[in-house]
Structure 1
Amino acid sequence: MSTAEVTAHTDAQATAHTDAQAADTDGKVAAHTYTEIRSVEELRELIREPDAPAAGKVRTSLHPYDKAWLAKSPLVVMATADADGRCDTSPKGDPAGFVKVLDDTTIVIPERPGNRRADGWLNVLQNPHVGLLFLVPGRSDTLRINGRAKLVKDASFFDEMLVKGHRPTLALVVEIEEVFFHCAKAFIRSATWQPETWDPKAVPSTAQIAKATTRKHQDIEEIEAFYGAAYGEKLYEA
């Protein structure tokens, strides 16, 4: 291969690989080795079985505390996959409590105007399984919900999901199969909610990224204007 060379040998348990990686800034090629884990037994040799509270925390319906969390959550990350298993992850956000609880096993996520790619919605039409991660700003634990989803339109409850005069044109109804709280370790390790660790200017701006990738033929000033103050004023315009 011209960009990567992979050599492999098989031992009694797994396959060890050597990958030739892209050249670094000095033009040198770094080689890395790894051994692929191919079985549950191999995995459990490295990560022991969970203790009883962790193993038994999955529930099939909403507890009052789950509903309280949903009422204060302004952001959910939704994972989907198409019929071939190609995955997509997308954030959905609105004022806290935007996800409607229909009953103890059913929630609704409204659609809002976006770029119209509809990646997640297209996936759901092929494969109804979804994974949801609900965040509450400042809290390091998260609420996870897995279930089967369907897209609906013209629902009577859409009138209860108005935001700035915008009524959803469609929504995702999720029948809950699993619900549980996820521990806080990832957010604690990452210091996600600690403002002193934030440095948004450490990476290129949205306009700079767009100029380099998807809007190469536009002037940077035009792109910056698009993503400027007016961008936030048009969040609910179709």
Structure 2
Amino acid sequence: MPPHTITSLADLETLYAQPAPASLAKEVDYLHPHYRAFVEVAPFCLLSTSNATGGDCSPRGDAPGFVQVLDDRTLLLPDRRGNNRIDSLRNIVTDPRVGLLFLIPGINETLRISGTATISTDPALLERYTVDGKPPTTVLVIAIQTVYFQCARALVRSHLWSPEAQIARSALPSTGTMVATLSQNAIDGEAYDRELPERLRKTLY
């Protein structure tokens, strides 16, 4: 074990003060109306899942309120078209525990929800999420266990919503460059970049 490594809860807790009272009061086991307001306007969230060998965290996004509130203990999340790796769904089949972190443009607080998920192909749920005649393949039905809002410090420190903090896409390797390199040029990077805008337009749903 490397030196200065924390290996017990007792050692960890000696490093930190007691939790602030507000941090304990704001955690509940249902979707309070104040928290529901966050979910209903959020266009983006991160979905975390786990399996026997590790974990996964993936982005989910759509029109504001794309995560729908079925009731104060249940959320619905459509699985929109993607790359078909279905890493998150594979994890949920074996371990239903999930975490969601909601982000709202311009708002520095984030909302954290933990619970368990089941994967549904209920025609009524798929129809509920149909866009341009295209339903999602599945919908996650998430049973809420805890809900908590994170304070603004992380987003304030990062200047996440500040226009001055934005980085030009050209400052980083293009998607085509990355897939070409990682595939050892089995994938044509220039063609990938050239076709990407149209491919995204056609495959959003």
Per-residue CA distance 1:142-174 (angstroms, 9 max, x = gap) = 111000111010242332222233212211110
Q: Quick check: 1:96 aligned with 2:61?
A: no
Aligned CA-pair RMSD: 1.6
Q: Quick check: 1:59 aligned with 2:15?
A: no
Pick 1 or 2: higher relative contact order, CA cutoff 8 A, min separation 6.
Answer: 2
Deviation of 1:215 (Å): 6.1
TM-score (norm 1): 0.81
Number of paired residues? 204
Deviation of 1:38 (Å): 1.0
Per-residue CA distance 1:193-221 (angstroms, 9 max, x = gap) = 11111113322111111111136223332
- What amino acid is aligned across from residue 39 of structure 1 in structure 2? S
State the secondary structure of the residue aligned to 2:203. coil
Matched-pair contact (CA < 8 Å) for 2:177–2:190? no
Structure 1 residues 1-238: aligned runs within 5 Å: 17=2, 34-82=3-51, 84-199=52-167, 200-214=169-183, 216-227=185-196, 229-236=197-204
Q: Distance in 2 between matches of 1:147 and 1:160?
A: 22
State the secondary structure of the residue aligned to 1:35. coil
- What amino acid is aligned across from residue 48 of structure 1 in structure 2? A
Q: Distance in 2 between matches of 1:218 and 1:170?
A: 29
State the secondary structure of the residue aligned to 2:131. coil
State the secondary structure of the residue aligned to 1:187. helix
Q: Distance in 2 between matches of 1:133 and 1:69?
A: 11
Q: Which moved more, 1:113-122 or 1:60-69?
A: 60-69
Matched-pair contact (CA < 8 Å) for 2:176–2:188? no
Based on CA coordinates, which of the two structures has the bigger radius of gyration? Answer: 1
Matched-pair contact (CA < 8 Å) for 2:125–2:139? no
Deviation of 1:85 (Å): 4.4
Deviation of 1:118 (Å): 0.4
- What amino acid is aligned across from residue 117 of structure 2 in structure 1? A
Q: Distance in 2 between matches of 1:220 and 1:99?
A: 34
Q: Distance in 2 between matches of 1:166 and 1:179?
A: 31
Matched-pair contact (CA < 8 Å) for 1:164–1:236? no
TM-score (norm 2): 0.93
Matched-pair contact (CA < 8 Å) for 2:41–2:65? yes
Q: Distance in 2 between matches of 1:214 and 1:133?
A: 32
Unaligned 5+ segments in structure 2 are: none
